[in-house]
Amino acid sequence: MTRRYWNINLEEMMEAGVHFGHGTRKWNPRMAPYISAKRKGIHITNLTRTAR
């Protein structure tokens, strides 16, 4: 499998709002490793894990 390296900047991801996920009722259990917290009914995505 070819490994791809993306030029991803965490600050740009924060500005784009990538860390805001879906509502806590609409989530796939396979996404559990990428969710870092739950706040006000929304899952917060772990950006460093997502950028890998």
Number of domains in the chain: 1
For the segment 1-52, what is each residue's pLDDT rounded down to a tens digit?
566 666 667 677 767 666 667 677 878 888 888 888 888 888 888 767 766 6
- Starting at the edge strand found earlier in the chain, the sheet holding 35-39 runs 20-23, 42-45, 35-39
- DSSP characters over 1-52: ---------HHHHHHHTTTEEEETTS--GGGGGGEEEEETTEEEE-HHHHH-
- Residue 27 included in any domain: yes
Confidence at residue 51, expressed as pLDDT on a 0 to 100 scale = 64
- Residue 2 included in any domain: no
Range of the domain at 41: 17-51
In order of 1, 8, 34, 38, 48, the CA distances from 30 in angstroms are 21, 23, 9, 16, 17
